[in-house]
Amino acid sequence: MGRLASRVAIVTGGSRGIGRGIAELFAKEGARLVIVGRDRSSGDEVVDAIVRAGGEAMFVAGDVALAETAAAMVAAALDRFGRLDILCHNAGIFPEVRVDDMTEAQWDRVMDVNLKSTFLATKACFKPMRAQLYGRIVLTSSITGPIVGNPGLAHYSASKAGMEGFIRTAAIECAADGITINAVEPGNILTEGLAATLGQKHIDAMTAAVPMGRLGEPIDIAWATLFLASDEARYITGQRIVVDGGQTLPETRSGVN
């Protein structure tokens, strides 16, 4: 406990699923939080839970694809807490549509929310982090794109692969200022959205492809994110951690059993 004591963190997409898991773990470890999302009611619910547990948090509503949201979340952290130490950029969308049916607007929206927002959030955080010669930026990427593909997710795959290309160069540009940038690549994580969308039959099939025999939980991603956001990872930058229960290890599905 207390690995993030005195630190101030922004968590985008922090009102549900993986983002909420990250926010709640960070709060337990002593971080003061700015949670960013589009749904104010869900965001306020997370803030209330953190405050009831003895933590400090606030919510900023906005679309991460817009520069004004990035500016607002950084301003909120500085106004409320006086500094900014950690950015966990977790917000993202993954609407399924195959390439033949995909519209230009659908492609652009996924790129804006997943990839453009990475640039906007990172750029907005650079100035205060550089001023204090300290910063930890952790992106929620995916195994889909950097390692594997999935029909219906070409736009999502491209956005996540692009995200990891971005961190390699951005990490070089800010390394001398005490800022690290890394990514966590989740496999299939059982969130409320996944359960509601796919149904039990699909979830069972996904589970059968994981050597550990279960889907991940938000806390599994939160622990990896916590490591990269802490001083324990102070000499790691431009890297990625795969958290998938071994899903990407077998050469074929028959290798799982």
Q: pLDDT tens digits for 132-143?
A: 999 999 999 999
Active site residue ranges: 156
Average pLDDT over residues 239-256: 89
pLDDT of residue 206 exceeding 80, the answer is: yes
Q: Which of 10-19, 70-79, 193-202, 241-250 is predicted with the least confidence, judged by mean pLDDT?
A: 193-202
Percent of the chain residues past pLDDT 90, beyond the cut:
89
Q: What does pTM read for this prediction?
A: 0.95
Position 23 scores a pLDDT of 98
Residue 252 pLDDT class (50, 70, 90 cuts): confident
Residue 214 pLDDT class (50, 70, 90 cuts): very high
Residue 125 lies in a domain: yes
Average pLDDT over residues 60-79: 98
- Which residues span the domain enclosing 28? 8-245
The CA distance from 241 to 228, in Å, is: 9
pLDDT of residue 197 exceeding 70, the answer is: no
Percent of the chain residues past pLDDT 70, beyond the cut:
97
- Angle at CA 45, nearest 5°, toward 41 and 49? 170
Residue 3 lies in a domain: no
pLDDT, tens only, 177-193: 999 999 999 999 988 76
Q: What is the 3-state secondary structure (H, E, C) of the chain?
A: CCCCCCCEEEEECCCCHHHHHHHHHHHHCCCEEEEEECCHHHHHHHHHHHHHCCCEEEEEECCCCCHHHHHHHHHHHHHHHCCCCEEEECCCCCCCCCHHHCCHHHHHHHHHHHHHHHHHHHHHHHHHHHHHCCEEEEEECCCECCCECCCCCHHHHHHHHHHHHHHHHHHHHHHHHCEEEEEEEECCECCHHHHHHHCHHHHHHHHHCCCCCCCECHHHHHHHHHHHHCHHHCCCCCCEEEECCCCCCCCCHHHHC
The CA distance from 152 to 254, in Å, is: 24
pLDDT of residue 239 exceeding 70, the answer is: yes
Position 223 scores a pLDDT of 98
Position 196 scores a pLDDT of 64
Residue 152 lies in a domain: yes
The CA distance from 233 to 137, in Å, is: 11
Residue 95 lies in a domain: yes
Residue 254 lies in a domain: no
Structure tokens at 96: 């399924």
Residue 257 lies in a domain: no
Average pLDDT over residues 216-226: 97
pLDDT, tens only, 148-157: 999 999 999 9
Residue 253 lies in a domain: no
- Tally the domains of the chain: 1
CATH number at residue 25: 3.40.50.720
Residue 251 pLDDT class (50, 70, 90 cuts): confident
61 DSSP β-pair partners: 37
pLDDT of residue 195 exceeding 80, the answer is: no
pLDDT of residue 51 exceeding 70, the answer is: yes
Residue 255 lies in a domain: no
Contact status, residue 62 vs residue 38, Cβ threshold 8 Å:
yes
